[in-house]
Structure 1
Amino acid sequence: MTSSSDTFPFGIADVVELLGLTVRRRLPSSLYLNCPFCGDQRGRLNVNTDKNVWRCNRCGAAGGMLALYARYNCTGNADAYREICEALGRYTPRPRVNDCIGVKPEQNVRATPQEIHQTYSLLLSMLPLTPTHKAHLLSPRRGLTEEQIARFGFKSTPPAFLCRSYAERLRRQGCTLQGVPGFYTDNAGRWTINFGSRTAGILLPAVGMDGLICGMQIRLDIPLRRRDDPPGKSGAKYIWLSSVGKPHGVTSGSPLHFVGEPFAKTVYVTEGLLKADIARCLTGRSFVAVAGVNSLNGLESALRCMAQNGTKLVVEAYDMDKLENEYVASAAEKVQQIARVAGLQSTSLVWNTAYKGIDDWQLALRREEAKEKVA
């Protein structure tokens, strides 16, 4: 089957290079390769680069460029298309069959907290932190040290074409994949992870009061914009690693993140996992981080648990736009109401409006202290 270059943002030569197949001979419109399917070592697999098709003259295997990738990786054509585009940086969404006919993929029940923690912990141990992401976290904008970065477990999201291999490595090491947010099965029934070029960024582990990793947030390299977003809106900077809507996938649940001492007398509530981690490093205080100003599910039960552990005061520490934005102001007040319902005292923290977040404010104070020491 011939594939037109007008239909696909890549050609079969790109697929051959991506798969790392051995090319025995090159002609103007053909390649002769060793066949990865029958083990031929004499270059009997012919690739027509004009028509984007291939055929092995020994075993008879043949098809288009998606079939070549799909057969090599034991996946389907839809996933082959997506993974090739992700790997080559040429992503162009194509409708999925289930989306067109309104069929919802089967969803999983969430795995146990211990299973989720084990899978995420091992995945993080496998992933690198790219120099670009490391430089961002070490920059004056974030103010973290290498030791702090390692302790929090920040890593870089992997490219899509490596996700199946990571999932398989986790499975072989005894990790549970079913019911872990972000994991799902592809068209060939193989487990993979919901990472891609459009959602590339820094992985931020969300940790519960029990010390277990309960979710993963991604700080996106490029903010995601929706089609109906107004022209001036920058787009979402943070998203949860989730596989909701995918076969055997599961929602992230937008869990709370806790960093600090479980028995702290005073606990601060702020928006954003990374912000809370940085503020913890700068102040030594304990923080509960919500994903969004109104993402308060589970906050009351968490605060009740803290009250039993000895917490007395909850300090709402949302960004300073709460003084101008009614939406944020209402959400900030709701945090205090929830604290009081949980039997705790509550108050609101404000600071110099030149600095939006509590992390920005504390970093500015740290810089001023450094200047005074030099002077």
Structure 2
Amino acid sequence: MGAYINFDLIDTAELCGIDIRRSTLSNDEVEARCPYCCDHRYRMYLSRLTNMFYCHNCGTGGNAVTLYSSFNPKGVCLKNYESYNALLNEPSVGRHDVPVQPEKSNAQIREIEERSEIYTELLKLLRLEKEHCTNLLNRGLDSERIARNMYRSFPTDNAERQWICDSLAARYDLHGMPGFYRTDGIWHIAAFKSGILIPIRNKQNLIQGLQIRFDNPPVKRVTTPEGITIEKIGTRFMWLSSSKQKKFEGTSVPSYIHITGNRDSDTVYLTEGGLKSDVASYLSGDKLFIGLTGVQNTGFLKEVISSLSPKRIVEAVDMDVRSNPQVRKAQVKIQAICAPLCETYKRLFWPIDQKGIDDLLLFRKLKKEYEEKIRKGN
């Protein structure tokens, strides 16, 4: 069993020469002048309860490690891990070891309101690269909808990812947040390959989690029954999760279902994938779509359908249902769950040339535009 160190914030502030209002030292929140904005009215609050600070003048927040990184007695700018190691050798700073136990891996995921707020702030710190914007435009979305849906590019640069995480950790407790984990008292974002981050939202439009659509799916090696190892294209979509860092307070994420479009509609279109649902809803005039994050991930399906109370459900899974026995099996399960929860249940079929419902709607849109162009030309 390992441990991380929680350094006393008040001791650290005094070591850094922060101007503290002495009359508040016995309070749960100690008042200080903010060294970041040179505040003169003692609007920085050092919380004994959370061991975090926050300035109500400039909005800067953090903990003992981040404070020491900027205002240590040597007057040098330190990285967080350097600050952490330096504080280990400061006898004047109180500390206590917080055990990191394997059971932490099963820590309860944060409430949806908190999760959505933190993920929203994460997305605000990120940008959408040009190639990813082009990809989304080519799917039929326009720039306004892309911005509204808050798609972002996953940051693959380690330094950039750490800066973003430090910015969030200075304002939020990241315990129970899928995609984040902590080592040596420092929070990190789990590393993934490049791709587009897709918010997976609920009925209230809150972000339940984030999925990544990889630019290049990872290759996986599979051994056939004959003992031959072959390479196959791996998963295109993956949750932003820190389940692989469970020993470091990482958190896994359930297979939530994405909801998009007119949530007051009495007709629900059911398909697979958050991005596919967004595109299909947009191209159909904001019809109500729900997207399973994996055609076999139906754990939340009954709950979601019951909350929407539709009269009609239109199943629109990909057309590989005709050739994929696993998809056909999942299709039977989906209908068994949904049919009792509505008045009418039906399936959509279309030419296999367009695999998904989003492909079909985009084909129809482009065809219509082409025909109108020809008609005007005549």
Q: Same fold (TM over 0.5)?
A: yes
Match of 1:255 in 2: 256
Partner of residue 301, structure 1: 303
Q: CA deviation at 1:315?
A: 1.0
C-alpha distance in structure 2 between counterparts of 1:190 and 1:280, whole Å? 40
Q: Runs of 5+ in structure 1 lacking a partner?
A: 1-35, 41-67, 76-102
Return the alpha-carbon distance in structure 1 between the equivalents of residues 258 and 293 of structure 2: 8
Gaps of at least 5 residues in structure 2 are 1-71, 86-100, 224-228
* Corresponding residue number in structure 2 for 1:147: 144
Alignment of 1:66-105 (within 5 A): 72=82, 74=84, 104=102
Q: Aligned equivalents of 1:116 and 1:200: distance in 2?
A: 23
* Corresponding residue number in structure 1 for 2:169: 171
Tell me if structure 2 keeps the 8 A contact 1:203–1:219: yes
Q: Distance in 2 between matches of 1:279 and 1:153?
A: 17
Separation of aligned partners in 2, 1:224 and 1:70: 31
Answer yes or no: is 1:189 the counterpart of 2:185. yes
Indicate if the aligned counterparts of 1:304 and 1:343 stay in contact, CA closer than 8 A. no
For residues 329-372 of structure 1, give each alpha carbon's deviation from its aligned partner in whole angstroms, at most 9, with x where no partner exists: 12122211111233443111111111100111111111110111
Q: In the aligned structure 2, how far is the partner of 1:217 from the partner of 1:237?
A: 10
The residue aligned with 2:369 is: 370
Verify the 8 A CA contact 1:266 1:286 in the aligned structure 2.
yes
**Residue type at the aligned position of 2:281:** R
Name the CA distance, whole Å, in 1 between partners of 2:73 and 2:237: 42
Query: Which secondary structure does the structure 1 equivalent of 2:276 belong to?
Result: helix
- Contact 1:315–1:347 (CA<8 Å) still a contact in 2? yes
User: How far 1:105 sits from its partner (Å)?
Assistant: 6.8
AA partner of residue 178 (structure 1): H
What CA distance in whole angstroms lies between the structure 2 residues aligned with 1:359 and 1:69? 46
Return the alpha-carbon distance in structure 2 between the equivalents of residues 298 and 343 of structure 1. Answer: 16
Match of 1:220 among 214, 217, 220: 214
Deviation readout 1:267-289 (Å, 9 max, x if unpaired): 01111111110001100211100
Which amino acid is the alignment partner of residue 195 of structure 1? Answer: A
Looking at structure 1, the residues matched to 308 and 80 of structure 2 have their Cα atoms a distance apart, in angstroms, of: 51
Deviation at residue 104 of structure 1 after TM alignment: 4.3
1:254 CA displacement? 1.6
Determine if the alignment matches structure 1 residue 321 to structure 2 residue 320.
Answer: yes
Q: Is the 8 A contact 2:129 2:153 kept in 1?
A: yes
Report the equivalent of 1:271: 272
8 A contact 2:219–2:231 mirrored in 1? no
Q: Indicate the residue corresponding to 2:35 in structure 1.
A: none
Distance 2:188 2:115 in 1: 15
**For the residues of structure 2 that align with 1:170 and 1:294, how far apart are their CA atoms?**
34
Q: Is the 8 A contact 1:166 1:192 kept in 2?
A: no
- Quote the Cα distance in structure 2 between the aligned partners of 1:130 and 1:313: 39
Does the 8 Å contact 1:351/1:361 carry over to 2? yes
In the TM superposition, residue 182 of structure 1 has moved relative to its aligned partner by 0.5
Instruction: Measure the CA separation in 1 of the matches of 2:250 and 2:231.
Output: 33
Spell out, residue by residue over 1:294-342, the C-alpha distance to the aligned partner (whole angstroms, 9 max, x if none): 01111011111111xxx10111110001112121112122211111233
Q: Is the 8 A contact 2:220 2:233 kept in 1?
A: no
The alpha-carbon deviation at position 118 of structure 1 amounts to: 0.4
* Equivalence for 2:290: 288
Q: Which residue of 2 aligns with 1:210?
A: 204
The two structures have a TM-score, normalised by structure 1, of 0.69
Is 2:360 aligned against 1:361? yes
| TM-score scaled by length of structure 2 | 0.69
Superposition pairs for residues 332-371 of structure 1, below 5 Å?
332-371=331-370
Q: Which residue of 1 aligns with 2:240?
A: 241
Structure 2 partner of 1:79: none
Q: Equivalent residue for 2:109?
A: 110
SS of 1:165's equivalent? Answer: helix
Cα displacement (A) at 1:38: 6.2
Q: Percent identity?
A: 33
Structure 1: 4+ residue segments shifted above 3 A: 36-40, 68-75, 229-232
Q: CA deviation at 1:144?
A: 1.5
- For residues 113-152 of structure 1, the aligned pairs below 5 Å read 113-139=112-138, 142-152=139-149
> Greater relative contact order: 1 or 2 (C-alpha under 8 angstroms, separation 6 or more)?
2
Give the deviation of 1:71 after TM superposition: 5.4
Q: What residue number does 1:16 align with?
A: none
Counterpart CA distance in 2 for 1:258 and 1:372 is 33
SS in 1 for 2:220: coil
CA distance in 2, matches of 1:71, 1:191: 10
Residue type of the alignment partner of 2:323: E
Alpha-carbon distance between aligned partners in 1 of 2:329 and 2:103, rounded to the nearest angstrom: 37
Which has the higher mean CA deviation after the structures are superposed, 332-341 or 150-159?
A: 332-341
CA contact (8 A) 1:123 1:170 kept: yes
Query: Match of 1:191, as an amino acid?
Result: W
Residues 46-91 of structure 1 show CA distances to partners (whole Å, capped at 9, x for unaligned) of xxxxxxxxxxxxxxxxxxxxxx99954758xxxxxxxxxxxxxxxx
Q: In structure 1, how many angstroms separate the alpha carbons of the residues matched to 2:205 and 2:317?
A: 24
The equivalent residue for 1:22 is none
Moved more, 224-233 or 128-137: 224-233
**Does the C-alpha gap of structure 1 residues 224 and 211 become closer, same or farther in structure 2, counting only changes over 3 Å?**
same
Over the aligned positions, Cα root-mean-square deviation in angstroms equals 2.5
- Alpha-carbon shift at residue 133 of structure 1 (Å): 1.1
**Structure 1 contact 137–143 (Cα < 8 Å) conserved:** yes
Q: Quick one: which amino acid aligns to residue 172 of structure 1? A: A
